[in-house]
């Protein structure tokens, strides 16, 4: 059963956290969907990931290409559109997470900017929805470059 991990961004850039989490998931053999809400935003993130750290390469692609099914990390902007059969989902910018899909996955990450009231409210709603569906969850906050666990709810 899935575990939902909520990450409230502080000073760390989104693309750095995405790269860290995706690298860990890929090491587990989990294809990953990175879901946003707008294609233009995902195109920018795609470029940022291509220009990422020189010491590592994160294989990924933007949805809509001929190799979508083979992408280890597929950037999408519409629920249910990931052709790579993901076992993990990263939701950014308040992207929708369907409860049935979350239950099928190994991991769900909700990444948000807690300094934005709308983003914080959306993440709180997703926490209630996911934990209400019996999915275990943890809430992590970036405090000065260090991730601190602020809350945890067991499955059930």
Instruction: List all residues 6 or more positions away from 12 whose beta carbon is below 8 Å from its beta carbon.
Output: 142, 145
CA distance 108 to 143: 22
CA distance 123 to 6: 8
- How does pLDDT run across 35-64, given as a tens digit for each residue? 999 999 999 999 888 876 655 678 899 999
- How does pLDDT run across 74-125, given as a tens digit for each residue? 999 988 878 999 999 999 999 999 999 999 999 999 999 999 999 999 999 9
Domain spans of the chain, in order of start: 3-153
Q: Which CATH class is domain 3-153?
A: alpha beta
């Amino acid at each position: 059963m899935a575990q939902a991990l909520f990450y409230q961004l502080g000073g760390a850039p989104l693309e750095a956290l995405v790269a860290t989490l995706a690298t860990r998931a890929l090491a587990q053999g989990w294809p990953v969907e990175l879901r946003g809400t707008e294609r233009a935003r995902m195109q920018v993130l795609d470029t940022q990931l291509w220009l990422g750290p020189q010491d590592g390469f994160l294989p990924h692609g933007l949805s809509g290409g001929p190799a979508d099914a083979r992408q280890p990390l597929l950037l999408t902007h519409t629920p249910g559109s990931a052709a790579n059969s993901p076992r993990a989902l990263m939701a950014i910018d308040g992207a929708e997470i369907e409860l049935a899909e979350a239950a099928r996955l190994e991991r769900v990450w909700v990444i948000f900017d807690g300094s934005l009231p709308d983003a914080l409210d959306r993440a709180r709603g997703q926490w209630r929805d996911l934990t209400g569906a019996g999915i275990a969850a943890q809430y992590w906050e970036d405090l000065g470059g260090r991730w601190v666990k602020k809350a945890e709810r067991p499955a059930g």
